[in-house]
Chains A and B, each alone.
Chain A
Amino acid sequence: MSDKARTSNPAFRDPADEGFATKVALLLLSLAFLIFFLFLPLLSVFVEAFREGWGAYYEALAEPDAAAAIRLTLLVAAIAVPLNLVFGLCASWAIAKFEFKGKAFLITLIDLPFSISPVISGLVYVLLFGSGSLLGPLLKSWGIEILFAVPGIVLATVFVTFPFVARELIPLMQDQGSGDEEAALSLGASGWQTFRFVTLPNIKWGLLYGVLLCNARAMGEFGAVSVVSGRIRGLTNTMPLHVEILYNEYNMVAAFAVASLLALLALVTLALKTLLELRFGAGNAGGRH
Chain B
Amino acid sequence: MTQTATASPAKWRLKQPSIIPGFGLTLGFSLAYLSLIILIPVAGLLWRTAELGWSGFFSVFADRRTLDALYISFGTAFLAALVNVVFGTILAWVLTRYNFPGRQLVDAMVDLPFALPTAVAGIALASLYAPNGWIGSLFMPFRIAFTPLGIVIALVFIGLPFVVRTVQPIMEEIDREVEEAAATLGANRFQTILRVILPGLTPAILTGFALAFARGVGEYGSVIFIAGNIPYVSEIAPLLIVIRLEEFNYAGATAIATIMLLISFLMLLVINLIQAWSRRRYGNV
Contact = CB atoms under 8 A, between A and B. Distances in A.
A266 interface: yes
Interface string B237-255: 0110110010000100110
A10 interface: no
Contact of A30 (B91, B169, B208): B91
B264 interface: yes
B128 A220 contact: no
Interface in A183-215: 185, 191, 194-195, 213
Contacts of A33: 87, 90-91
- Size class of the contact patch on chain B: 35 or more
Given A16-B180, A255-B123, A287-B162, A221 B117 contact: yes
Name which of B14, B163, B239 has the most chain A CB atoms within 10 A of its CB: B14
| Secondary structure type dominating chain B contacts | helix
| Secondary structure type dominating chain A contacts | helix
A163 to B, nearest CB: 9
Contact of B19 (A133, A182, A195): A182
A31 B90 CA distance: 11
Given A219-B117, A220-B120, A288-B211, A100 B264 contact: no
A80 to B, nearest CB: 10
Interface stretch (B3-11, B56-64, B217-225): B217-225
B55 interface: no
Interface in B66-114: 87, 90-91, 93-94, 98, 100, 104, 106-114
Interface in A137-154: none
B198 interface: no
A222 B119 CA distance: 6
A106 B110 CA distance: 30
A212 B29 CA distance: 23
A111 to B, nearest CB: 8
B19 A185 contact: yes
A159 B27 contact: no
Nearest to A31: B106
A100 B16 contact: yes
- Size class of the contact patch on chain A: 35 or more
B145 interface: no
Given A117-B217, A123-B45, A42 B87 contact: no
Name which of B104, B123, B163 has the most chain A CB atoms within 10 A of its CB: B123
B260 A87 contact: no
A65 interface: no
A276 B173 CA distance: 22
A259 interface: yes
Nearest to A284: B169
B253 A123 contact: yes
B273 interface: no
Interface in B9-63: 14-16, 18-23, 25-27, 29-31, 33-34, 37-42, 44-45, 48
9 contacts: A34-B91, A38-B157, A40-B134, A94-B26, A109-B38, A118-B220, A127-B44, A243-B123, A287-B166
**9 A-B pairs with least C-beta separation:** A220-B117, A117-B218, A287-B165, A15-B183, A222-B221, A191-B21, A223-B220, A100-B15, A124-B41
Interface of A: 2, 13, 15-19, 23, 26-27, 29-31, 33-34, 36-42, 44-45, 48, 83, 86-87, 89-91, 93-94, 97-101, 106, 108-113, 115-120, 123-128, 130, 132-133, 155, 158-159, 162, 178, 181-182, 185, 191, 194-195, 213, 216, 219-223, 226-227, 239-241, 243-244, 247, 252, 255-256, 259, 262-263, 265-267, 269-271, 273-274, 286-289
